[in-house]
Amino acid sequence: MSMQKQQEPQTTGHVWDGDLQEYNNPLPNWWLIGFYLTVIFAIGYWFLYPAWPIAGTYTKGFATITYTNDKGVTKTVHWNSRALLMEETNAAVAKQKPYYDKIGSMTPEQIARDPDMNSFVISAGKSLFSNNCAACHQQGGVGKMGFAPNLTDDDWLYGGHFDQIQQTITLGRHGYMPPFKGVLNDQQMTELADYVLSFTKVPVNPESAKAGDALFHSETAACYYCHGANAKGRTVIGSANLTDNIWLWANVPAAKTVADKEDAIKHVITNGLHKGVMPTWGGRLSPDQIKLLTVYVHDLGGGQ
Amino acid sequence: MENQDSLELYQKRIPIITRSVKGKFRRFKTAVLLLGFAVFFLLPWIPWHRAHGIPQAVAFDVGQRKFYIFNLIVYPQDVFWLAFLLFIAAVFLFFITTLLGRAFCGYFCFQTLWTDAFMFVERWMQGERPVRMKLQKQAWNGEKLVKVGGTYVIWFLISFWTGMTFVLYYGYAPDLLHRFFIGDAASAAYITVFGLTFSTLIAAGFMREQICAYVCPYGRFQSVMYEPETLAVTYEYRRGEGKNGRIGMKGELKQREKRQEQGYGDCIDCGICVQVCPVGIDIREGLQYRCISCGLCIDGCNEVMKSVGFPQGLIRYDSELNAESAAPKAPHLHWKRLKVLGYFAALVIMTTGLVMDIVNEKDFEYSVEQIRQPLYVTMSNGDIRDRYEIRLTNQADESVRFHISAEGLPPGALNLGLMQDALVHSGHSIIVDVGVELKPDQIKQYKSFEFVIQSLTNDKDRVEVPMNFFSESSGI
């Protein structure tokens, strides 16, 4: 360095306005060589991969990629990341295939009892559930009040046995409750709400609850037709069990006062329900995928 | 571009042409070289019986994610052993450095070993130092081509086999070697062999001491760890130089008494210590950052001192403290120091910890995590349920059945669903989801409990995993 200081500064030799000169600070060679190498690399890249846009098209490059599309046709095209994704997806599917082959020949219960298969269900089911079911049932199957049932508790509207869950997923469900607006007056509805709340030890007026009990089993309201004489619901038609702590349509747990809880239930009785719709998955998912989801959902709620 | 004569930023490397030497440090260095090479080159070829996996004493199966080291199988979950080992290696390096200086550099470092081996080849092919110097100055002719070319060919072969051997650790050596030559090995094998062949050739054949001086960080930070008590290669300046400096052996100066009368030192300025030095320094100028503490100059000097009948040890391993004292005593290890003992204690504790951990290793890996979506759920009867995901990996050679239970929970609270005792195949992992259900009034009492995972094959393989029960009242 000290030697450099003694030197006159190097200039490019250009002079403007008589005395304005430009210092010459050449780049280090290692830097220049590195720069030229990146240029050479870039040229090689242009020849191999899609690079330059030209009018409505682009240079495709000489590199090719072979993949099999979803119709089973194997194609060789110029290199592109979409085909790469297809190829990688196929590889992943091929890895899952031995498991799916086994699922085809096993009953859901056998799958749930086999440690290896059950582990596969927990891992593969998580992504299958997230892609297809979580839009309504939420991530982890926790459900949403007033929208989609919680799958992690032990209350099953249409039954929690393997075959019932499998049927629910395959065919879908449509829950319906008629509106009682105009059929029952406000007091009758309050009595019915009190009767329902009395099952879970909510401090309601016992007289009113008793009247509700009578009304529930009478032909006037005829609640027992669907909800059963014991009010525990019927899995065949998916009518709710009214005696437990699980609520889907009337947000009773969030209501603070008894009056609010009554109102939540009365709202459902007044307007009925026509929105408990679960779509049919039979045509969208393969029978093996549905069987896998059956085991997964069964495991979520601890099963029945 | 510029005036090259006056504006050279770096000095050109002066080639180091070393003279061979005999002595105890050279013998030790050769012994370490032979041992090191024997271990490195032969280890992949030792067969080892295993029920599953590669039948080779040491094999790193990256595909199966299992490292076989004799009877030990290391899984990715054990990666902290590697971290532990690196800690121990670091502390061991500090410990040795504070006692003996850069002994690692001089005798054990692979840069030193391979450079040393290449220098043997050089001498064997081209002859001793003066012959090699003559050869270097000589114009290119058939003889030079054969000697220098032959050296490069042998260097290349050693480098190639070094890269090849490294790769052989990552598979079943005979099979991998065969596949390598018929073009059937993984591309990673070819890339690694290519890379290691050329890096070995360049580092040990051409860059040599420049690696230590400019590339290697260890050499530089070890220098900082020298203390006055550290044993370093030391030239006893007062004895060597006397009052009037060093001087050659001529006339009556061949007698030590006469030299001392005339104020000359014991150094006869033969230059052997410089000629044998693999890093090209003159140790008589004092301790330098390039010195790798290999002791070859000590051997060289001792041999010369013996032949001229002067006492040996003009150059020796000695501490600055002793060598510069008024009356130097015989060099000895200064180990009674807080730093040395501290390093030693750390080494003992860490090594014991690592060994204990490896010895007590269970034949399975586990993890238990609470499922956090949902964190808890209210059941139809008002009970609260938490769910937990248990992962088990069987590291034993055979299939093992595991029993999962819980301690510190009321009876019936643990719900294993349909998964009772779970059979896990060798090397496989499984996931089991279990539920714990508590009545609202039990939550306070059973805030924490333990999962017990017990192998039904081996009583010793049992873990108790403390867990917490979460609910709304937990304040989460």
**Would you call A10 and B431 a contact, using CB atoms and an 8 Å cutoff?**
no
Interchain contact A115–B (C-beta under 8 A)? yes
Q: Give me the pLDDT at residue B15, please.
A: 84
Q: Give me the pLDDT at residue B250, please.
A: 86
Task: Judge whether residue B14 has pLDDT over 90.
Answer: no
Which of B150, B181, B207 terminates a domain? The answer is B207
Q: Give me the pLDDT at residue B9, please.
A: 65
Quickly state the pLDDT bin for B438 (edges 50, 70, 90): very high
What number is the average pLDDT over the span B367-387? 90
Q: Give me the pLDDT at residue B2, please.
A: 44
- CB pairs < 8 Å spanning A and B: 82
Residues 395-434 of B with CB under 8 A from A: 415, 417-419, 422-425, 428-433
Dump pLDDT digits (tens) for A151-204. Answer: 999 899 999 999 999 999 999 999 899 999 999 999 999 999 999 999 988 899
Q: Give me the pLDDT at residue A1, please.
A: 41
Residue of B nearest to A152 (CA): B377
Higher pLDDT, residue B416 or A137:
A137
**Would you call A26 and B1 a contact, using CB atoms and an 8 Å cutoff?**
yes
Which candidate from B2, B417, B428 shows the least CB-CB separation from A10?
A: B2
Quickly state the pLDDT bin for B410 (edges 50, 70, 90): very high
Residues 93-112 of A with CB under 8 A from B: 109, 112
Which candidate from B382, B417, B423 shows the least CB-CB separation from A303?
A: B417
Min distance B461 CA to chain A CA atoms (Å)? 19
Residue of B nearest to A139 (CA): B373
Residue of A nearest to B382 (CA): A245
What number is the average pLDDT over the span B395-409? 90
pTM across the whole model: 0.71
In this structure, which long-range contacts are made by residues A116-119, counting pairs with CB atoms below 8 Å and at least 24 apart in sequence? Answer: A116/B425, A116/B428, A116/B430, A118/A295, A118/A299, A118/B419, A118/B430, A118/B431, A118/B432, A119/B429, A119/B430, A119/B431, A119/B432
Residue of B nearest to A122 (CA): B431
Which candidate from A4, A152, A299 shows the least CB-CB separation from B377?
A: A152
Which candidate from A10, A122, A140 shows the least CB-CB separation from B374?
A: A140
- 3-state class of A202 per DSSP? coil
Which candidate from A7, A10, A142 shows the least CB-CB separation from B373?
A: A142
B461 in Cβ contact with B360 (< 8 Å) = no
Task: Judge whether residue A298 has pLDDT over 90.
Answer: yes
Residues from chain B contacting residue A245 (CB–CB below 8 Å): 378-382
Higher pLDDT, residue B476 or B380:
B380
Task: Judge whether residue A3 has pLDDT over 90.
Answer: no
CA distance B390 to B411: 20
Dump pLDDT digits (tens) for A79-115. Answer: 999 999 999 999 998 999 999 999 999 999 999 999 9
Residues from chain A contacting residue B380 (CB–CB below 8 Å): 153-155, 241, 244-246
Interchain contact A118–B (C-beta under 8 A)? yes
Beta-carbon contacts of A254 under 8 Å, excluding residues fewer than 6 positions away, are A145
Q: Give me the pLDDT at residue A4, please.
A: 47
CA distance B467 to A112: 25
What number is the average pLDDT over the span B23-50? 95
The residue among B3, B430, B441, B453 with the most chain A CBs within 10 A of its CB, best to mutate, is: B430
How does the average pLDDT of chain A come out, rounded? 91
Quickly state the pLDDT bin for B474 (edges 50, 70, 90): low
A243 in Cβ contact with A230 (< 8 Å) = yes
**Would you call B418 and A303 a contact, using CB atoms and an 8 Å cutoff?**
yes
Q: Give me the pLDDT at residue B419, please.
A: 81
Which candidate from A3, A115, A122 shows the least CB-CB separation from B422?
A: A115
- 3-state class of B467 per DSSP? strand
Strands B315-319 and B231-235, by their bridges, are antiparallel
Dump pLDDT digits (tens) for B48-84. Answer: 998 778 999 999 998 888 899 998 888 888 889 999 9
DSSP structural state of residue B334: -
Domain for residue B202, yes or no? yes
Which candidate from B419, B424, B431 shows the least CB-CB separation from A123?
A: B431
How does the average pLDDT of chain B come out, rounded? 91
* Percent of chain B at pLDDT exceeding 90: 71
Which candidate from A4, A109, A112 shows the least CB-CB separation from B7?
A: A4
Quickly state the pLDDT bin for B7 (edges 50, 70, 90): low
Residues 344-383 of B with CB under 8 A from A: 371, 373-374, 377-382
Quickly state the pLDDT bin for A2 (edges 50, 70, 90): very low
Token couple for A220: 């006037």
Phi and psi dihedrals of A18, rounded to 5?
85, -40
Q: Give me the pLDDT at residue A7, please.
A: 62
Give this complex's ipTM.
Answer: 0.81
Domain for residue B323, yes or no? no
CA distance A231 to A224: 7
Interchain contact B6–A (C-beta under 8 A)? yes
Dump pLDDT digits (tens) for A221-267. Answer: 899 999 999 999 999 999 999 999 899 999 998 899 999 999 999 99
* Percent of chain A at pLDDT exceeding 70: 97
Which of B189, B207, B225 terminates a domain? The answer is B207
Domain that holds residue B377: 364-474
Q: How many domains does chain B have?
A: 2
Q: Give me the pLDDT at residue B1, please.
A: 44
**Would you call A118 and B419 a contact, using CB atoms and an 8 Å cutoff?**
yes
Whichever domain contains B447, its CATH number is 2.60.40.10
Interchain contact A245–B (C-beta under 8 A)? yes
Interchain contact B385–A (C-beta under 8 A)? yes
Interchain contact A10–B (C-beta under 8 A)? yes
Which candidate from A26, A154, A253 shows the least CB-CB separation from B379?
A: A154
C-alpha distances out from residue B321 to A152, B98, B239, B241, B314, Å: 75, 14, 16, 19, 16
DSSP structural state of residue A28: P
Token couple for B444: 């306070």
Task: Judge whether residue A303 has pLDDT over 80.
Answer: no
Min distance B158 CA to chain A CA atoms (Å)? 30
CA distance B176 to B168: 7
Dump pLDDT digits (tens) for B109-118. Answer: 999 999 999 9
Dump pLDDT digits (tens) for B303-349. Answer: 999 999 999 999 999 999 998 888 888 999 999 999 999 999 999 99
Domain for residue B49, yes or no? yes
Q: Give me the pLDDT at residue B152, please.
A: 96
Residues from chain A contacting residue B1 (CB–CB below 8 Å): 26
What number is the average pLDDT over the span B347-357? 95
In the block, tokens 């330098």 appear at B288
Q: Give me the pLDDT at residue A6, please.
A: 54
CA distance B460 to B78: 19
Residues 435-454 of B with CB under 8 A from A: 435
Task: Judge whether residue B476 has pLDDT over 50.
Answer: no
- 3-state class of B47 per DSSP? strand
Q: Give me the pLDDT at residue A71, please.
A: 84
